[in-house]
Structure 1
């Protein structure tokens, strides 16, 4: 059994991710930490309170006092834990559909636990190797007010407020009914922007759109940008650790183009950046242009942050990193993904150019993603064997850091199992849209045929 995937552990709430499961994860994490105080936080999902209660009980049973932050963006919870020097259990499924929930573990430095730490907690969980305390030593718990406000005030000090305010921007914002609805509207207004919103009511049923900020879910935001004559549109996922953008015309901006634009503004010769194996050629081009190194990892924020920490320990300068899904990391700010901070850094680029001009140098590639679902571990293994067979038969350059990536020179395709959902994902990129779609469809059709058999 694998407990922690590419970004915590997730599953359908009350089926795969039960209170008993979360209770034991919290017991294992609490035993590993041995901390006097541990924070718990959640996003807006309807099962969040139930699972936070389970996490709190597990932590108290191993002797930790629990500080309940309530509905809080993951980066706000990370800021609180870093400031207080205590670990945190965040109950969130991030971008997954409403029926999902999950658990993300954050260390006392405000950073998601590294892979080796997660493995130790996972082993304790599987062996039920917990350290319960006696009845008179169990932990207490209490609510903490103001974590969200504290986070906003800290962000305001970390970005160029004057530059953004002088740009006189109108921001169309879609928090997607998630935790960012509690923080991002105020943050952008206090940066001096006019703010119009859609899906800005916290609601764990996510009635306006699914939590994942992908183009097919964001039609309302594109229309709002046009109707409000906004300079930019900003969308978050369920826990607001990602930001996706629309330009001033109401057109969707590929996350890989955003990552490349932000990287170009931060990277200098001799720097290093880190991304996942599904990295776009856009970022490769930026690194080649400025003379920076690019390191690749398996997909997932945990893997990327673990590698950043290793590089920093070796003395490397890593000013920016991340993935093209809106999860950009600015390690000099904090070693985490922070949707509001990402958006503010993008707003800084709009002081002199429009959003479309900022991303135009990185708009010559087309991306396609196909998901093929499976229902059992046996079916998953069969699908992966089909992927491997097709990959080995190809004459393209093959990379197997995470799944199977084929580089053709003018295009690439990657097939890998998701770390958070029962799907095999196929990614493709090319300078020609038809070429990208054909590559993705070739793998997708082979996988669907195998599943049908």
Structure 2
């Protein structure tokens, strides 16, 4: 085999593709040379824009993540770059530290998807890459040498976790969370060794919950029935003011109120934006319409689903607005501009973060009080697992071309249909509710979001819609 490989050719044959946030695929496809190709293609994509000699790398708790990091580091060193390895830390902790040091970084994580899959997230010195950057990476003709079988061990640097904690302890006083009792559902989150330290330094009483030695694929947009019951039980046992958790790489928050009910991520983002006095927002099309109905924001722009699309819109909003932010239905909060809080400056962090929205929420009124102040619009989501992209695409294509027949097949009345939004998937808008269907960008799943004036109605309908689709289109 030729010892020289071309990045674009290796990537094209790998089966790994860019999803809503980062490159994702099966662990078996993340071979050392594929990892090397992605790392070097990323560096070549930004090399002309920035001056740097070091790249930062961190990982989540997946069993496969360390070996992927080793391969990325080996390839970068092969090309004369230094590598600093921050170990297991949340994605926003890595991104924040790298941005402060004006260096690019790579996060090895599959986020919330199952442990037999993994991924790579890429950050320029000024924040998360865009969809344009992704295309440049895929087309890279950078050449590298086949990696050796035995890769060097990585030396751990703890500066990223320390910097991330300092970001918030310097902004909020030591008694900000005094009198608050917080449960942390740790599972296998990359930030589980950070959150307890941080919240205690801000004055909270903290109880660690549900720590796991196995990787747990927490999906903040589709919380399992088991985790819903866990939160209710923990809240009843400990009388928490809130329960805090995240997805696997710590960039999507999962927050339960004082009763143990998990909040939707877009509701958390809306409340945080109100508390931060944000002027202009960018959010994906799937987010709850309570955002506009609240009438708190000068501008609300809706995008395709995925943080790169939100970030591209935020770049436009920054040109004409002072306090700009974005968030997703998964809860990941993106602060696009430097703003003043408590008389102190907090620097922008143009990637998803879990900590800021939680601290803003928990230090204010009871969470249920804040939620009850919003317009009465409720969202529920469900997903149809093991639905291939081919099958899902055929279903959505049929629905788009035959919308009235499709609506009738779901036992809905097409007389209540108002319009179809195809910004991302199919968002079917009725007079009193919304049904949104799209294929996941990270896994073979058909996702269904339903918005209605009642939470129970929304949840029941989301599950019902997917069952009808299985019966009518998948012969299940």
**3-state SS of paired residue (1:175):** strand
Matches within 5 A, 1:55-66: 55-66=72-83
CA deviation map 1:279-305 (0-9, x unaligned): 10221212x2x3522100001112111
1:355 to 342, 347, 367: 367
Say if 1:65 and 1:140, in contact at 8 Å, map to a contact too.
no
- Matched with 1:330 is 335
- Conserved 8 A contact 2:288-2:378: no
Which residue of structure 2 lines up, in the alignment, with residue 301 of structure 1?
A: 307
Q: Find out whether 1:263 has 2:277 as its counterpart.
A: no
- What does residue 286 of structure 2 align with? 278
Pairing 1:161-200 to 2, within 5 Å after superposition? 161=173, 164-166=176-178, 168-200=179-211
Deviation at 1:240, TM superposition (A): 0.9
The answer to whether the 8 A contact 1:42-1:70 is kept is yes
| Structure 1, unaligned runs of 5 or more | none
Distance (Å, rounded) in 1 between the aligned partners of 2:355 and 2:422: 33
Q: May I ask how many residue pairs the two structures share in their alignment?
A: 430
Change in 2 beyond 3 A, CA 1:60/1:246? same
Decide whether the 8 Å contact of 1:106 with 1:112 is kept in 2: yes
Match of 1:371 in 2: 383
The equivalent of 1:315 in structure 2 is 320
Q: Does 1:154 align with 2:161?
A: no
- Is the CA contact 1:414–1:428 (under 8 Å) kept in the aligned structure 2? yes
- RMSD between aligned residues: 2.7
**Higher percent of residues as helix:** 1
Residue segments in structure 2 that go unaligned for 5+ positions in a row? 1-11, 339-347, 406-413
Q: Calculate the TM-score normalised by the size of structure 2.
A: 0.83
Alignment partner, residue 425 of structure 1: 447
- Any residues of structure 2 matched to 1:85-164 within 5 Å, and which? 85-109=102-126, 111-124=127-140, 129-132=141-144, 142-158=155-171, 160-161=172-173, 164=176
Superimposed CA distance per residue, residues 124-150 of structure 1 (whole angstroms, 9 cap, x where no aligned partner)? 2xxxx1144899xxx997542332122
Q: Give, in whole Å, the separation in 1 of the partners of 2:398 and 2:462.
A: 15
- Aligned-residue offset at 1:376: 4.7
Q: In the TM superposition, what is the alpha-carbon distance from 1:392 to its structure 2 partner?
A: 6.3
* Larger strand proportion of the pair: 2
Q: 1:177 to 1:435 in 2, by over 3 A?
A: closer
State TM-score, norm by structure 1. 0.87
Please state how far the C-alpha of 1:253 moved relative to its aligned partner.
2.3
| Structure 2 SS opposite 1:279 | coil
Structure 1 position 340 matched with structure 2 position 355: yes
SS at match of 1:212: coil
Q: Distance in 2 between matches of 1:444 and 1:357?
A: 35
Is the Cα contact below 8 Å between 2:231 and 2:261 reproduced in 1? no
Which residue is 1:386 aligned to? 398
**What corresponds to 1:438 in structure 2?**
461
Q: Distance in 2 between matches of 1:390 and 1:226?
A: 48
Per mean C-alpha deviation after superposition, the further-off stretch among 295-304 and 242-251 is 242-251
Matched, 1:245 2:250: no
How far apart, in 2, do the equivalents of 1:233 and 1:173 lie? Answer: 6
Structure 1 residue 261, shift from structure 2 partner: 1.7
Secondary structure of the equivalent of 2:128? coil
Q: Which moved more, 1:50-59 or 1:211-220?
A: 211-220
Question: Hey, what does 2:474 align to over in structure 1?
Answer: 451
Q: Tell me, in whole angstroms, the C-alpha distance in 2 between the residues paired with 1:278 and 1:376.
A: 21
Q: Does 1:80 align with 2:92?
A: no
Residues 47 and 134 of structure 1, relative CA distance in 2, 3 Å threshold: closer
User: Are 2:61 and 1:44 equivalent residues in the alignment?
Assistant: yes
Partner of 2:397: helix, strand, or coil? helix
Q: Summarize the Cα distance change of 1:272–1:448 in structure 2 as closer, same or farther, 3 Å threshold.
A: farther
**CA positional deviation for 1:347:** 1.9
Report Cα offsets for 1:19-78 as digits up to 9, x if no partner. Answer: 332221112112223342111110111111111112112222333221111111101101
Structure 1 range deviating more: 18-27 or 188-197:
18-27
Q: Contact between 1:10 and 1:103, CA under 8 Å: does it hold in 2?
A: yes
- Residues 305-330 of structure 1 deviation map (CA, whole Å, 9 limit, x = unaligned): 12101221x22234332023221223
CA distance in 1, matches of 2:312, 2:132: 9
After superposition, the Cα gap between the structure-2 partners of 1:212 and 1:140, relative to the gap in structure 1 and judged at 3 Å, is closer
